[in-house]
A and B are shown apart, each in its own frame.
Chain A
Amino acid sequence: MAPFIPEGIVNPDLNLFYALVLGIGFGYVLEQAGFSSSRKLAGVFYGYDFVVLRVFFTAGITAMVGLLFLSFMGWIDMSLVYVNPLYVWSAILGGAIMGFGFIIGGYCPGTSIVAATVGKIDAMLFLLGSVIGIFIFAHFYNSWEPLFMGYFEGNPFIYETLGMSRAWFAFILVMVAVTAFAITQKIEDNVNKTPPHVIEQRPSYVFPGMLLIVSIFAFLFLPEQRKSNARELPPDRLHAMLVENNHFVDAEETIYKIMHEDRNFILIDVRDPEEYEKFALPGAINITKDEILGRRYRDFFRNAPVNSKRVFYGFGESAAELAWTIATRAGYDNVFVMKGGLNGLFDELFNGNDKPDDPLDLDEEFRVRFLTKARQLFLEGDALPKEPPAPVPIRTIIELETPGGRGGC
């Protein structure tokens, strides 16, 4: 469910349900393509029927163009797409055994299940054979293991190995596929000696084929990933906000909010986790600037209450300013920077005046009194929240694990 699970639109707990729906669709397509007949698959090897090749090749290039499109739109995270690991010996031996089985049995694992479902006895026997084979493989797995896991090459991509770009590889593959369709059709006609009037009545696929080629050609000139998305702030707006300089929260406000434990005022420490572990302002959470755009904090930033403030701070101002720029460009509202950082805050606390210069300046008088109080808070080590925030049990996806080297069919 490509873009939906990472964006949180679809509940991952329904995975099995979607698997069922997709599986039914897959079986339907296989049956409709006539793959429940063992002659279809064997036909590829004898040259009288290339439907299998065409169907699977079409499925492949359709999925490929779709992936390119989704990746261009930023709707899919390519790092989460499962890539089969390459075990050289397994690939060669397994391929040979499978191919041999295709010719003799006339089924591949998928089509054999479809054929068995519609009641073909040979397919049922084929399935029984595969089950026995799986049993033998599993039982003597220890003996095969060095062969099975031999020559592991990681999860390479063909285009990376060939040193070409993804779009060029896709383009070449589509061209190869379209050529293969035309040539196999010719071979089929020659082998079957199809009469000319049947050929003339066949629907022509020239037009959709041309559109496919044009669209894949367009991908050669489009970037692999967009440089910006619609949620982001335009550069001149971001620049204007930086020039305006209205995104600061001063030391007094910070201390006031800390003393009153304001829930809508969340301090975000942008320093390294090690520094954060040593000390941090009371109640601060730690989000480094690499993590701001992560999936984990997306909700936290996007669903900020209207009057709330999410305040970045570091030792100085620059790290927080960078964090603010990253977050604001991503379109996150209600983010601020603590003026002067920790250094500025403590400078104001401990190096400020003890007495107002003018005894009648009441504003200054109250400011000094407030700072004196705040100083005590820090000096007595009392700068701690008194009780933990009210817990709300929410189930959130914090990270999607990149698939390891297992699985496949």
Chain B
Amino acid sequence: MQINNNLNNISILFFSFVAIVVVINLFTTNNYGRANQQVVKLLEGEDHIFDYFQLHRIITEQTGDYILIDLRTEDEFEKEHLPGAINLPFGDLLDSRNLRMLRRLNEQTPVLYAETEARAQSARMLLLSKGLEPRVKVMGGNYATAVKFALDSFNPAFASYKDEKARFDYRRFMQTGAAQATPGREQLPGIIPAVEEVTVSVQGGC
């Protein structure tokens, strides 16, 4: 029976070690709802951008499919805001009360806007990493442009306004692209390539 006791002891030791590792790991994990890589995948594309056509429509027709969420501070919201918007200051975005409210919006799609588009985008990303559904939308541009192009005088030419668009003819100023930014680097004698890049292939079998 000596063998048996040793076996039991070793197995208890091993399994309790594994269990401790798992439990420690569960308790030290940050309170995220999605892994970072998953969030990055959800950020792809531009389907989540809410353009001014849609904004103009929901403001004029008063449809209840979308709910505008103003991420600016309370003071700014009090002063003026888009019609029908509710206030949710960016600083309180991750409060459990607000998260619960956003989760409960089943019928309506939340549309975030802020004083800059970057702020609304990062708010959406925070919500995604907290595990909210990826249907949350972000209004292109910022509050000022929305007022200018969708409220004051709706102009379809600016309907798909967004932050990430070239607004200057950059090729005039940076004529040599990045590809030629370091001219003839390979041809210069006596220069070793900075990084020797290797691809390691994994082979298997038994």
Q: Which residues of B contact A409 (CB under 8 A)?
A: 205-206
Q: Is the CB of A284 within 8 A of B178?
A: yes
Q: Is the CB of A391 within 8 A of B126?
A: no
Stretch from A47-55, A91-99, A184-192, A311-319 contacting the other chain: A311-319
* Cα–Cα distance between A292 and B43 once the two chains are bound (Å): 13
Residue of A nearest to B89 (CB): A243
* Cα–Cα distance between A391 and B195 once the two chains are bound (Å): 8
Question: Which of A211, A226, A279, A282 contacts B171 (CB under 8 A)?
Answer: A279
* A235-B94, A391-B194 as given contacts; A283 in contact with B181, CB under 8 Å: yes
- A409 CB to nearest B CB, Å: 5
Question: Which of A282, A284, A329, A346 contacts B36 (CB under 8 A)?
Answer: A329
- A158 CB to nearest B CB, Å: 17
Q: Is the CB of B43 within 8 A of A289?
A: yes
The size class of the interface chain A forms with chain B is 35 or more
* Cα–Cα distance between A326 and B170 once the two chains are bound (Å): 27
* A222-B22, A232-B32, A395-B196 as given contacts; A383 in contact with B174, CB under 8 Å: yes
Q: Is the CB of A243 within 8 A of B43?
A: no
* Cα–Cα distance between A407 and B205 once the two chains are bound (Å): 6
* Cα–Cα distance between A123 and B4 once the two chains are bound (Å): 34
* A222-B22, A343-B167 as given contacts; A282 in contact with B202, CB under 8 Å: no
* A238-B126, A293-B36 as given contacts; A393 in contact with B12, CB under 8 Å: no
Q: Is the CB of A82 within 8 A of B205?
A: yes
- Asked if A306 CB lies within 8 Å of chain B CBs, one says no
- Asked if B20 CB lies within 8 Å of chain A CBs, one says no
Q: Is the CB of B25 within 8 A of A73?
A: yes
Q: Which residues of B from 156 to 187 have beta carbons under 8 Å from A?
A: 162-168, 170-171, 173-179, 181-183, 185
- B161 CB to nearest A CB, Å: 11
* Cα–Cα distance between A236 and B129 once the two chains are bound (Å): 12
Q: Which residues of A contact B178 (CB under 8 A)?
A: 269, 276-277, 279-280, 284, 286
- B205 CB to nearest A CB, Å: 4
Q: Is the CB of B117 within 8 A of A316?
A: yes
- Asked if B101 CB lies within 8 Å of chain A CBs, one says no
Q: Is the CB of B7 within 8 A of A203?
A: yes
Q: Is the CB of B122 within 8 A of A282?
A: no
Interface string of B60-97 (1 = CB under 8 A from A): 00000000000000000000000000000011011000
Q: Which residues of A contact B198 (CB under 8 A)?
A: 395-398
Q: Is the CB of B205 within 8 A of A235?
A: no
- Asked if A198 CB lies within 8 Å of chain B CBs, one says no
* Cα–Cα distance between A389 and B199 once the two chains are bound (Å): 24
- Asked if A342 CB lies within 8 Å of chain B CBs, one says yes
- B146 CB to nearest A CB, Å: 15
**Residue from the set B11, B31, B192, B202 with the largest chain A CB neighbour count within 10 Å:** B202
Q: Which residues of A contact B197 (CB under 8 A)?
A: 396, 398
* A318-B118, A385-B182 as given contacts; A277 in contact with B36, CB under 8 Å: no
* A233-B30, A396-B195 as given contacts; A318 in contact with B164, CB under 8 Å: yes
- Asked if A132 CB lies within 8 Å of chain B CBs, one says no
Q: Is the CB of A318 within 8 A of B117?
A: yes
- A83 CB to nearest B CB, Å: 8
- Asked if A164 CB lies within 8 Å of chain B CBs, one says no
Q: Is the CB of B15 within 8 A of A325?
A: no
- Asked if A322 CB lies within 8 Å of chain B CBs, one says yes
Q: Which residues of A from 46 to 71 have beta carbons under 8 Å from B?
A: 69
* Cα–Cα distance between A401 and B8 once the two chains are bound (Å): 42
Q: Is the CB of A322 within 8 A of B167?
A: no
- B181 CB to nearest A CB, Å: 6
23 A-B pairs with CB atoms under 8 Å apart are: A214-B15, A226-B25, A228-B32, A238-B126, A242-B126, A278-B170, A284-B181, A292-B40, A315-B165, A318-B118, A318-B164, A321-B121, A343-B165, A346-B173, A381-B173, A383-B173, A384-B176, A384-B181, A391-B193, A397-B200, A400-B200, A401-B201, A401-B202
* Interface residues in chain B, defined as those with a beta carbon under 8 Å from any beta carbon in chain A: 1, 3-4, 7-8, 11-12, 15, 18-19, 21-22, 25-26, 28-37, 39-41, 43-44, 90-91, 93-94, 116-122, 125-126, 129-130, 162-168, 170-171, 173-179, 181-183, 185, 188, 191-206
Besides A5-B200, A214-B15, A403-B202, 17 other CB < 8 A contacts?
A69-B22, A72-B22, A204-B4, A222-B22, A222-B26, A278-B171, A281-B174, A318-B117, A325-B122, A325-B126, A342-B166, A378-B174, A388-B182, A392-B194, A396-B197, A407-B203, A408-B204
* Interface residues in chain A, defined as those with a beta carbon under 8 Å from any beta carbon in chain B: 5, 12, 69, 72-73, 80-84, 203-205, 207-208, 211, 214-215, 218, 222, 225-230, 232-236, 238-239, 242-243, 269, 276-284, 286, 289-290, 292-293, 314-322, 325-326, 329-330, 337, 341-343, 346-347, 350, 378-379, 381, 383-385, 388-389, 391-403, 406-409
The 6 closest A-B pairs by CB, nearest first: A82-B204, A316-B163, A321-B118, A280-B178, A401-B201, A407-B205
